[in-house]
Structure 1
Amino acid sequence: MKTYSKQQLALRNGQDRPEIWIAFEGIIYDVSHSKLWRNGKHYEHWAGQDLTEELEDAPHSSKVFERLNAVGKLENL
């Protein structure tokens, strides 16, 4: 699986490029085709970033990531 930097992830925010990606626990997921992530926004969350810490406030569990397509790993710096 390819590794991407936080800067590369940030470009996939639904505004700068057509891809819409999010990261969770070091894995990057493509949510480009999700109706819940139109224009790179999902409620008060924005695409192009690591959402691991934000899951605590979500009304769902981490199981939602099992349905998403993993496209890479987030680079550890």
Structure 2
Amino acid sequence: MKKYSPQQLALRNGQDRDEIWIAYQGIIYDVTNSRLWKNGTHYEHWSGQDLTDELKDAPHTDKVFETLRVIGELN
């Protein structure tokens, strides 16, 4: 699986490039086509970063990541 640095992930925030990516537990997911991540934000969460620590405050479980396309690993 391809590895990406936190800096590379940060560029996929919906502002700097067209791609919108997020990371969770070391895996990077593509949320570009998700209506929930329009413009790179989802409620108070920002794309282009690791959201592992933020999931504990979410109203859903990590099962939501099962439906997303995996891009690679966070290096």
Q: What are structure 1's unaligned runs of at least 5 residues?
A: none
Question: 1:56-67, aligned counterparts within 5 Å?
Answer: 56-67=56-67
TM-score under structure 1 normalisation? 0.97
For residues 5 and 71 of structure 1, what CA distance do their matches in structure 2 show?
12
SS of equivalent to 1:14? coil
Q: CA RMSD in A?
A: 0.2
Q: Scaled by the length of structure 2, what TM-score is found? A: 0.99
Q: Tell me, which stretches of 5 or more residues in structure 2 are unaligned?
A: none
* Alpha-carbon displacement from aligned partner over 1:17-54 (angstroms, at most 9, x marks no partner): 00000000000000000000000000000000000000
Return the offset for 1:73: 0.2
Rounded to whole Å, the distance in 1 between the matches of 2:5 and 2:12 is 11
Aligned to 2:40: 40
CA distance in structure 2 between the partners assigned to 1:63 and 1:25 by the alignment: 13
**Counterpart check, 1:74 vs 2:74:** yes
Divergent runs of 4+, >6 A: none
- May I ask how many residue pairs the two structures share in their alignment? 75
